[in-house]
Structure 1
Amino acid sequence: MIHVIIVEDDYRIANIHEEFLNKIAGVKVVGKALNGQQALQLIKEETVQLVILDIYMPDILGSKLIQEIREIDQNIDIIMISAATETEIVGDVIRTGVFDYIIKPVKMERFIETIEKYKKVKENLEASKDIDQSFLDDYFGVKKPGIVDTPKGIDPLTLQKIKENMYETEIGMTAEEMGTRIGVSRTTARRYLEYLISTGEVIAELEYGIVGRPERKYRPYKKDA
């Protein structure tokens, strides 16, 4: 369970952020603070892994508060949520090593996406003895060659595997054959193959067997075909 405190001088916004956090499994809000001193007191009293922090606090600038938080516990992570967009301020915050910086007003989807990413990173760090490059690429948002943004339900790595197998064949293959090759169900393979049709990388033709219904056979699209 990840213990979180919310440091926000507007209690209404703090309550909204708490509602967002309550929608996420494995996360628990252990306190809310309206100023920097309350935040530091909470950190001393509670076991805290993550602080949701605003910059403009009544008694201290959030970027300065980060330094005091780290003096108490350097393992605490920070996600900054603020209306501040000034280059100097944002630059100072980034250099403190915050996990993310979100500009107000915050959309729930963006908020939850960040917390889910934080959970995944923390779980992977705790489960791994050593860190490989793929973990760091994912953490720092480095895109892997050949991997592009995909819609919901289409995993980039699975898509890449299907494309690699598809380009190895000249005669094409059915969804069932593709599923067997890469270790997924026929339904899953078909979803990815149909997606590749929508992007113009694959075409499908009906293949009529001796018995039974005709099957869709997929093969790479070639301009000269």
Structure 2
Amino acid sequence: MIKTIRVLIVEDDFRVAQINRQLIEQITGFQVLAEMKTAEESLTFLQQTEQLPDLILLDVYIPDSPGLELFRRLRSDFPAIDIVFVTAAKETATVEEALHGGVVDYLLKPVDFDRFHKTFTRYRARKILLASKEEVNQEDLDRLLYGIDVSPSSAAAPDGLPKGIDQLTLERIEDVLTSSSADGMNAIDVGQAAGVSRSTARRYLEFLVSAEKAKAQLHYGDVGRPERTYLKI
């Protein structure tokens, strides 16, 4: 299973930083290391920390970093750290340089939680895929780059999986289930953590049960119908 993804928030508005932290902490598999308000603080933290973040959530408008100065410094000094912009900067020149610099995503404020969640779940899915393989095929790259299957054979399920079961989504579901508590998780919680609908999560969970990679059990609450929960085997 992939390790917890470490995130550094660089945002001069403490209220926005707190909101971003709260959003991140609702998503499975992520940990916020710290919040920084200035470029100087951020660079000092990165130079002194024993554990670098995997991902930086970066605003363009940092008081002591005009334009994209901090972004350029991060790309130069810490090229292995991925960056997601969360900013109000809409200028096409800024967007273009960010894209040339290899940002993971570019989110405009105010950010909708569903859009925010999608960015993080796709980023985690990318890390899972790259950690699980020594080589990738074109379908893997299409999913990594575009989040979709654009190959001519997209109607057929890859890797011998049944139709309607995608390898990348399956890995996300398995990863979420592996990190669950001893009581297991229901389809709603799995779907939210993996960034898919309840019905999609249930389909993948039932596939894992049929493949004997998970087991289902009924959880009886105080009132109402019993709830079906799932545990990784």
Written as runs of structure 1 = structure 2, the 5 A alignment for 1:165-204 is none
Letter in 2 for 1:68: R
Partners of 2:26 and 2:62 in 1: CA distance: 26
* Structure 1 gaps, min length 5: 149-156, 161-186, 189-225
Written as runs of structure 1 = structure 2, the 5 A alignment for 1:67-106 is 67-106=72-111
The 8 Å contact of residues 53 and 62 in structure 1, kept in 2 or not, is answered as: no
* Structure 2 gaps, min length 5: 156-162, 167-201, 204-233
TM-score (norm 2): 0.61
Report how far residue 42 of structure 1 moved: 1.9
Report how far residue 40 of structure 1 moved: 1.1
| Candidates 22, 35, 38, aligned match of 1:35 | 38
Tell me, yes or no, if structure 1 residue 113 matches structure 2 residue 125: no
Report how far residue 26 of structure 1 moved: 1.3
Q: Percent identity?
A: 31
Aligned twin of 1:158: 164
The structure having more radius of gyration, on CA atoms, is 1
Query: Closer, same or farther in 2 for the Cα pair 1:54/1:62, shift >3 Å?
Result: farther
Report how far residue 62 of structure 1 moved: 6.0
Letter in 1 for 2:19: I
Secondary structure of the residue aligned to 2:56 is strand
Aligned twin of 1:191: none
What is the number of residues matched between the two proteins? 155
List structure 1 runs of 4+ shifted beyond 3 angstroms. Answer: 145-148
Query: Closer, same or farther in 2 for the Cα pair 1:62/1:43, shift >3 Å?
Result: farther
Secondary structure of the residue aligned to 1:3 is strand
Secondary structure of the residue aligned to 1:30 is strand
Report the more deviating stretch, 12-21 or 44-53. Answer: 44-53
Secondary structure of the residue aligned to 1:32 is strand
Secondary structure of the residue aligned to 1:59 is coil
Letter in 2 for 1:135: D
Partners of 1:119 and 1:62 in 2: CA distance: 29
Partners of 1:116 and 1:159 in 2: CA distance: 18
Deviations 1:104-158, CA, capped at 9 Å, x for gaps: 100111111100100110111122101211111112215524869xxxxxxxx51
Secondary structure of the residue aligned to 1:81 is strand
Report how far residue 159 of structure 1 moved: 8.2
Report how far residue 88 of structure 1 moved: 0.9
Deviations 1:156-202, CA, capped at 9 Å, x for gaps: x5189xxxxxxxxxxxxxxxxxxxxxxxxxx96xxxxxxxxxxxxxx
The 8 Å contact of residues 54 and 62 in structure 1, kept in 2 or not, is answered as: no
